[in-house]
Amino acid sequence: MNIALVTCQSLAQYAAPTVEDEDALLTRYLRGQGHHVTAEIWTDAAVDWRAYEVVVLKSPWDYFDRIEEFYAWLDRLETLGVRLLNPVARVRWNADKKYLAEMEQAGARIVPTRWLTRGARVEPEELFADLGTDHLIVKPAVSGGAKNTFALTRTEARAAVERLEPLLYEEDFLAQPFLPQIQTEGEWSFIYLGGRFSHCVLKTPKSGDFRVQHYLGGHIEPRVAPPHLLATADQLIARFASDCLYARVDGVEVNGELLLMELELIEPFLYLASAEGAFARYEEALRCM
């Protein structure tokens, strides 16, 4: 298979000495299975996407900084008839976290969320009261990598509004209660390949932080998936991502239930090196798409 593996101009800010380059490992594995794999930068206007049998999104980790350009790129691929994995419709839907509201309406349990519409004023006390918390997480509706993410206590909120409101003037945000379980128990990631469960990891932040990303000092530990949480993740994939090459369900256990934080369908790190056979399962899923 002739494959374009989609990346961005630079991955340097997401590198961590404790985590191997997943793009390189995946490329090496797929080439070893006889596939022709080329890394292509999605913003490179010179790329002939029609030259590939399939275009696979892997690490376009600047798409949320250039979202209108990204949407236009998706439109172009669709017009050209290029086969994108994951499918264009799923990717476009997943780019804005308002998809969480749609999932909640369909019965999914998500972290309680309030939506801050572009141009609105931030009223921290109303958010604290509405969400029943003394500690808020506020982040853009289109974002990644913990960009412009605020953790606010009541004492910090008023000062933070001065930094937040100019950002809110530019784009939509969302507010959620900070979940202490992220620090005490961790955040679960369930990885699916070809609609089937592959493996899972538990992510915990470094001491004093709330961000679990490995390039921000978070710790990643392969785990056996707890059956009761896996059952919920299975249902979410069956309902919302059964046609995807890859998907990652991120959530936290609260009172014995999985609360969804993100359904990652665009460019998630898949922790393929953490599970025996994961690269083979990825390649099998690719063959079957």
Same domain for 129 and 103, yes or no, is no
Percent of the chain with pLDDT strictly greater than 90: 74
Same domain for 87 and 155, yes or no, is no
- Domain containing residue 206: CATH number: 3.30.470.20
Higher-confidence position of 206 and 164: 164
Tally the domains of the chain: 3
- pLDDT of res. 147: 76
Same domain for 124 and 79, yes or no, is no
Same domain for 189 and 281, yes or no, is yes
Domain boundary among 149, 177, 205: 177
Q: How confident is residue 217, by pLDDT bands cut at 50, 70 and 90?
A: low
Same domain for 103 and 238, yes or no, is yes
Alpha-carbon distances, residue 87 vs 55, 71, 171, 262 (angstroms): 10, 13, 25, 18
- pLDDT of res. 11: 77
- pLDDT of res. 197: 98
- Domain containing residue 145: CATH number: 3.30.1490.20
- Domain containing residue 15: CATH number: 3.40.50.20
Domain residues for the domain of 34 are: 2-92
Of 37, 41, 47, whose CA–CA distance to 7 is shortest?
41
The answer to whether 247 touches 192, Cβ cutoff 8 Å, is yes
- pLDDT of res. 163: 85
Same domain for 165 and 186, yes or no, is no
Same domain for 245 and 147, yes or no, is no
The answer to whether 112 touches 131, Cβ cutoff 8 Å, is yes
- pLDDT of res. 275: 97
Q: What is the pLDDT of residues 52-99, one digit of tens each?
A: 999 999 999 999 999 999 999 999 999 999 999 999 999 999 999 999
Same domain for 282 and 161, yes or no, is no
Domain boundary among 177, 205, 229: 177
Q: Which two tokens stand for residue 258?
A: 């999985």
Give the DSSP H/E element, type plus range, for residue 222.
Answer: strand 219-223
Domain boundary among 143, 177, 211: 177
- Rounded to two decimals, what is the model's pTM? 0.92
Q: What is the pLDDT of residues 237-284, one digit of tens each?
A: 999 999 999 999 999 999 999 999 999 999 999 999 999 999 999 999
8-state DSSP, 19: B
